[in-house]
Amino acid sequence: MPVKRGGRSVVTVEIFLENYEKIKQRASQKRLNIKEYVNDFLQVYLEKEEFLSRVAPFLSVDSYEGNRITLKDIKKKILVDVFYVNGELQCDIDQTNNCIHTKFIWMIPEISKIKTNGNRIKE
Ligand SMILES: [Zn+2]
């Protein structure tokens, strides 16, 4: 139920303790209070998702396992396997590390599901 606070409508939500502790630490590093930090975080996240659906509305995640993410490409009407190998994303269809599929995966939060086996990005 929204209430008015400081001239804005707000709602109360429950945040899991493990997430709260991380958020609290990051907020303090940025010298923001937790409410400001969480709202900035959510706004940037939502805007990023909206941006991605504007620039690549034809791509979405189908599944992931191990070092692979499979994308659904409805423009080409195919599933595309992309593998994380030696610090790079390799597209199975385009045989490159620099196509729309690899670029898309670098931008999405699901990238955190990839098993990296300790391989870092090459500098
Ligand atoms: Zn590709």
Mean pLDDT of 59-75: 97
User: So what's the pLDDT on residue 5?
Assistant: 87
Ligand 1 centre to CA of 43 (Å) is: 29
Ligand 1 centre to CA of 98 (Å) is: 7
% of the chain surpassing 90 pLDDT: 88
Reference 80, options 95, 107, 101; nearest CA is 101
User: So what's the pLDDT on residue 118?
Assistant: 86
SS3 of residue 72 by DSSP: strand
Ligand 1 centre to CA of 27 (Å) is: 37
User: So what's the pLDDT on residue 6?
Assistant: 84
pTM (predicted TM-score): 0.85
What are the residues whose beta carbons fall under 8 Å from the beta carbon of 72, sequence distance 6 or more? 59, 60, 61, 62, 79, 80
DSSP 25-65: HHHHHTT--HHHHHHHHHHHHHHHHHHHHHH-TTEEEEEEE
Query: In whole angstroms, what is the distance from residue 86 CA to residue 53 CA?
Result: 29
Paired tokens of 67: 């070092």
- pLDDT tens column, 72-115: 999 999 999 999 999 999 999 999 999 999 999 999 999 999 99
User: Mean of the per-residue pLDDT values for the chain?
Assistant: 95
* Domain regions of the chain by residue span: 3-55, 59-113
> Angle between the 34-55 and 17-29 helix axes, to the nearest 10 degrees?
100
